[in-house]
Amino acid sequence: MIRGLKEPFFILLISAFSAMLGLGVISPFLPEFARQHGANGFWLGMIFAGFGLSRGLVMPLIGALSDRLGRKVFVVSGLFLFSVISLFYPLAGSVYSLTLVRMVHGLSAGMIIPIVMAYAGDVAPSGREGSTAGSVTAMFYMGLAAGPLMGGVIAENFGFNAVFYSMSGLAALNTAVVAFFLPDTGRRKRTDSVPRSPGFSGLIRYNYIKAILVLAFIGTLLLAVFMSFLPVIGERDMIDTVHIGIIVSMGIFIAGIFQMPFGKLSDSLDRTGKLFQVSTGTSIGLFALFSIPFCPDFHALLVSGCFLGAGAGVSTPALSGLSFEIGHKAGMGRWMGIYNAAMSAGFVAAPVISGLVLDTMGIDSVFYVFGIFAFFCVLLSGHYYRRRLKYGIKAG
């Protein structure tokens, strides 16, 4: 971790790890669970997308409010809602009610994730934004990595419902830890120095901001396709949920362990170098995604999953570090809400479009379509950066 960060930050990181563990724990078997409720490809996509949609809608508002009201109230409220809504999964009797549960679940996540990132941005030392971002995103990825493996094991041995009860209990424990041990924070001094923080309409005028948001969107989209529809490939190839959990967990685990070293690397680069690092990592990920339909067995899928995770490990800390720099100018909570909403848009678009592609063209085409789409998005971000209008900090 980063020297000089205060103890409350570490408490928040532990809670973030556990919250992401709760999110990842259901991914290996959610497609099968949804199909037991009669979900086709479209509704399978909607069940996944409902989470990202509600999360993305609430994030900008929660982020802006946290700049004025403090961070703690939103983290505690989000964790409490997370704990309660987890108990409703076993009660969902149709694809409609399951989609609704997922949307409320996403709402709870929208009250946690941008606030954790805003808190990290508040305490990030100048010139070490990448390292600080790497420590935060490492915890996110480690939680996500442990979740699918744990979920697969619990589902295989105790059934689906046991996973949801475990998720609820973990969130309840996190709620208590944050409520009693995490001090509240208000607006940071650096945020206070910006009396009129621009909203989304003001920020999106800048081509540099567009480049950052496109990269955030596409990075999450690749991960969403991987986590949402790899289980469908697994079902086709007769790979059980435990081994699917291993593939997902290993990919995300590699993404996690790459966060710190590549965060430090990004601190040594100028802005152009950081964006090149992000583009390189994203390119590794999109080629790994494109290769998945060519994988004949578990071991080949494991290799592709590891490369996809490596791409995220290269790109994420540099992208988050650049976002911290923007947050110091635009208002950390407000900007982190917008930034994370762009990532949530990836979680919405990927499952819905993937479901439609699955129904009309088959599972292999899901990975081909998004691999090609991600490639053109990387080109688009480069186009925006070349045409950038400077925002706040002199362009590197």
Please list, in sequence order, all residues whose beta carbon lies within 8 angstroms of the beta carbon of residue 124, skipping any fewer than 6 positions away: 132, 133, 324
Structural contact between residues 53 and 106, judged by C-beta atoms closer than 8 angstroms: yes
3-state DSSP: the chain helix, strand, coil percent, rounded to 5? Answer: 80, 0, 20
Q: What is the pLDDT of residue 276?
A: 92
Residue 160 lies in a domain: yes
Please list, in sequence order, all residues whose beta carbon lies within 8 angstroms of the beta carbon of residue 251, skipping any fewer than 6 positions away: 145, 226, 305, 306, 308, 309
Output the CA–CA distances (angstroms, integers) from residue 44 to 20, 99, 228, 329, 353, in the order listed: 21, 9, 9, 40, 11
Residue 187 lies in a domain: no
Q: Name the amino acid, one letter, at 156.
A: E
Residue 352 lies in a domain: yes
Q: What is the pLDDT of residue 302?
A: 93
Residue 115 lies in a domain: yes
Task: Identify the CATH number of the domain in which residue 218 sits.
Answer: 1.20.1250.20
Q: pLDDT per position in the chain (396 positions), as tens?
A: 444 445 666 777 777 787 677 667 776 667 777 777 777 777 777 777 777 788 888 888 888 888 888 888 888 999 999 999 989 988 887 888 888 988 898 888 888 888 888 887 777 777 777 888 888 888 888 887 777 777 777 877 887 788 888 888 888 988 888 888 877 665 544 444 444 556 677 788 888 899 999 999 999 899 888 877 887 887 777 787 778 878 888 888 899 999 989 998 999 998 889 999 999 999 999 999 999 999 888 899 999 999 999 999 999 999 988 998 888 888 888 888 889 888 888 877 887 788 788 888 888 898 999 999 999 999 999 888 887 644 444 444
Domain that includes residue 63, residue range:
9-178+197-386
Left if phi > 0, otherwise alpha if psi is -120 to 50, otherwise beta: which for 295?
A: beta
- Using DSSP's 3-state secondary structure scheme, residue 296 falls into coil
Q: What is the pLDDT of residue 265?
A: 92
Residue 159 lies in a domain: yes
Residue 141 lies in a domain: yes
Q: What is the pLDDT of residue 396?
A: 40
- Using DSSP's 3-state secondary structure scheme, residue 239 falls into coil
Tokens of 107: 């709402």
CB burial of 80-91 (b: ≥16 within 10 Å; e: otherwise) equals bbbbebbebbbe
Structural contact between residues 71 and 118, judged by C-beta atoms closer than 8 angstroms: yes
Residue 394 lies in a domain: no
Q: C-alpha angle with apex 130: 125 to 133, nearest 5 degrees?
A: 85
Structural contact between residues 140 and 252, judged by C-beta atoms closer than 8 angstroms: no
In this prediction the pTM is 0.79
Structural domain total, the chain:
1
Residue 395 lies in a domain: no
Q: CB atoms < 10 A from the CB of 124, how many?
A: 26
